[in-house]
Amino acid sequence: MNPEHAEGVEALSRDHLSPSSALAARASAILQEAAAEDPAALPELARAVVLAQPAMAALACVANVALRALEALGAESVRGALVALQRGIDADRRAAADALCSRIVEPVRVVTISASASVVEAIQALRREDLLLDVVCGESRPLLEGTALARWLAEQGYDVLLATDAGLAEQLVERTIFVVGTDAILPRAVAHKCGTRLLAAWARLAGVPRYVLATRDKIYPHELAPLFANPERSPVEILQSPPPALRVENRAFDLSSRDLWTEILVGARPLHEAEANGDHALAQGLVPLLERGPRPGA
């Protein structure tokens, strides 16, 4: 493997601040460069991309698309396949927003946690359709990406409330919908910001509709699902210099049952349709990963 490409993948594995879409874009650039310079190294590189952050379905998807193009049509097709994937993802984001609007009959409050591009797209669409009352963002500790989203929305002229993560459940009231993105859709669960499962469960008890908005790259290849991992993040994100006797748990994601959600939309389609009709075949170059077994921390 080219040392520069190896370093690029290592940088992906260390980056816990960038959203999955940004990580996938960087992975795509690395794979395109490798396909042009050294196609024989692409399978090993693609496997390394999957393992760089195995909680991120988008990385597995980019790797799979690149290898399937290589195997079916040759190295010269890899760039086009990855560009087409990105176009499809962008279209899915817009389509999911429109699909959500079609399910709303009167203006609603949107409650969200973390900072998903798909949720931002939906908020914008709801306002265009005069279906938005206001937005409530949870802080999204420990990295406070929800705080950053709330600030940005306020700067764009939205009526927005910033709430503590613990207080977000108080905002799940009448004429409200709970809307999130996802980092991975697994065969039986949805991975998202830690705390999402608790809020979704409370929203169901409160009778509040619950939506996951996703793009095609968030469906984790089913054969690779045992590789999904949710490792501990650095404790200093929660507490600087914890004393030796203090244990700090800092998992980035939780897993919520798929049936906890009112609907999971992949673009314009409900999840079951997207899974049934999409082409999710696994590239042969990723098959060696199946021998690894479940990842620690999964």
Task: Decide if 96 is inside a domain.
Answer: yes
CA distance 191 to 253: 6
On whether both 77 and 195 belong to a single domain, the answer is no
On whether both 138 and 258 belong to a single domain, the answer is yes
CA distance 238 to 128: 38
What was the pLDDT predicted at 296?
43
On whether both 82 and 139 belong to a single domain, the answer is no
CA distance 63 to 68: 9
pLDDT by position in tens, the chain (length 298): 789 999 999 999 999 889 899 999 999 999 999 999 999 999 999 999 999 999 999 999 999 999 999 999 999 999 999 999 999 999 999 999 999 999 999 999 999 999 999 999 999 999 999 999 999 999 999 999 999 999 999 999 999 999 999 999 999 999 999 999 999 999 999 999 999 999 999 999 999 999 999 999 999 999 999 999 988 899 999 999 989 999 999 999 999 999 999 999 999 999 999 999 878 899 999 999 998 655 444 4
| Domain count within the chain | 2
Helix spans in the chain (H): 3-14, 20-37, 42-52, 57-73, 78-102, 117-128, 145-155, 196-205, 271-277
On whether both 84 and 55 belong to a single domain, the answer is yes
Structural contact between residues 118 and 97, judged by C-beta atoms closer than 8 angstroms: yes
Looking only at the bridges linking them, the beta strands covering 184-185 and 210-214 are: unpaired
CA distance 41 to 162: 47
On whether both 126 and 264 belong to a single domain, the answer is yes
On whether both 85 and 151 belong to a single domain, the answer is no
On whether both 148 and 35 belong to a single domain, the answer is no
Write out the residue range of the structural domain in which residue 245 sits.
Answer: 91-277
On whether both 83 and 105 belong to a single domain, the answer is no
Structural contact between residues 179 and 214, judged by C-beta atoms closer than 8 angstroms: no
Model pTM score: 0.95
- Nearest Cα neighbor of 233 from 251, 254, 248 is 251
In sequence order, the β-bridge partners of residue 132 are 108
What was the pLDDT predicted at 172?
97
Task: Decide if 297 is inside a domain.
Answer: no
On whether both 27 and 145 belong to a single domain, the answer is no
CA distance 30 to 15: 15
On whether both 36 and 134 belong to a single domain, the answer is no
Task: Decide if 29 is inside a domain.
Answer: yes
Non-local (6+) Cβ contacts of 125 within 8 A are 94, 97, 98, 100, 101
Task: Decide if 62 is inside a domain.
Answer: yes
Residue type at position 19 = P
Structural contact between residues 89 and 114, judged by C-beta atoms closer than 8 angstroms: no
Task: Decide if 125 is inside a domain.
Answer: yes
Check which CATH number belongs to the domain holding 113 and give it: 3.40.50.10470
On whether both 150 and 224 belong to a single domain, the answer is yes
On whether both 125 and 53 belong to a single domain, the answer is no
Check which CATH number belongs to the domain holding 36 and give it: 1.20.120
CA distance 164 to 205: 20
Looking only at the bridges linking them, the beta strands covering 160-163 and 189-193 are: unpaired
Task: Decide if 163 is inside a domain.
Answer: yes
Task: Decide if 298 is inside a domain.
Answer: no
What was the pLDDT predicted at 298?
41
Task: Decide if 296 is inside a domain.
Answer: no
